Structure 1
């Protein structure tokens, strides 16, 4: 069951949903809009390896904007820190950005229950697209769970800024 905008506000006031900074004006009928943060990063290698850390660099998005090129994945983050110990947040693109051919999360839209931090966006532009810090880029919905809750305690907990893949750590636990 998805929460409505008014219910997101009520659950925020009860402390069941965390959004920092919180702005009730950003609530939609069944979601909360999120802004693009000030940092963006990308991998510097042509070949990415799942079993090893990949070279990654982070830059500030200039106030005059930054041009995203097709055929590249960019990692950015939301300005907001988001999480819940009672609901499952899911990240979506806003239809306005989607209509520009800008994918906001290429594959990973589910935020585990108990996770809290800035959300990493996996940006991919179908054609050259200029982005700006503070752009209303996505929206988060909150979903009720069924069954026992096991809180997230994984490798991305407390994320700040764009986080490169840590999939190589999965090989260490084999």
Structure 2
């Protein structure tokens, strides 16, 4: 079951969904529009090895915009801190952003039940496109879980800014390095 926009607003007011900052006008029929934060993460390695930490740098998105060139892949942050211990958020690109030839949150749309923080968005451009802090690029939907709830306590909990892959911390990675 998916929450409607008015129900998302009620659940934020009741503290069952974290959305900070929250603007009720960004509640749509069944989602909440998410804005792009002001930081990007860019990988520096030519080849990313999931067994090892990857070299990267964080860049500020200027108010005048940042050009994603065709083929660019960056990690970005949501402007909002979001999460819930009661509902499962999923993040999808807004259609207006996709129609510019850009992908937001390319493959990892599921936000674990119990995660709270700024979500890291994967952005990919098929055409050159300008991005700006505060630009509405994604939307969060909230789903009712079924079954026993176990809250997320993983390696991305409490994220404040775009985070690189932490797959090198997974048990399989340590075994693969040995």
Aligned: 1:126 with 2:133? no
- The answer to whether the aligner puts 1:11 opposite 2:11 as a matched pair is yes
Between the aligned partners of 1:73 and 1:100, the Cα distance in structure 2 is 15
Question: How far did residue 17 of structure 1 move?
Answer: 0.5
Render the CA deviation track for 1:73-122: whole Å, top value 9, x for unaligned: 10001000000000000001011001111100111000000000001010
Partner of 1:35: 35
Structure 2 counterpart of 1:93: 93
Residue of structure 1 equivalent to 2:62: 62
Residues 1:76 and 2:76 are matched in the alignment? yes
Is 1:148 paired with 2:130? no
The separation in 2 between residues aligned to 1:124 and 1:87, in whole angstroms, is 28
In structure 1, distance between residues paired with 2:62 and 2:12: 32
- Structure 1: where are the runs of 5+ without partners? none
Cα RMSD between the aligned structures?
Answer: 1.1
Q: How many residues align?
A: 174
Question: Closer, same or farther in 2 for the Cα pair 1:99/1:158, shift >3 Å?
Answer: same
Counterpart position of 1:113: 113
Cross-structure match for 2:174: 172
Question: Is 113-122 or 9-18 further displaced after alignment?
Answer: 9-18
TM-score relative to the length of structure 2: 0.95
Equivalent-residue separation in structure 2 for 1:129 and 1:151 (angstroms): 37
Q: Equivalent residue of 1:172, what SS?
A: helix
SS at match of 1:71: coil
Residue aligned with 2:9, SS:
helix
Q: Residue 154 and residue 173 in structure 1: after superposition, are their counterparts in 2 closer, same or farther (change >3 A)?
A: farther
Partners of 2:69 and 2:50 in 1: CA distance:
23
Structure 1 stretches of 4+ with a deviation exceeding 4 A read none
In 2, Cα distance between equivalents of 1:58 and 1:134? 18
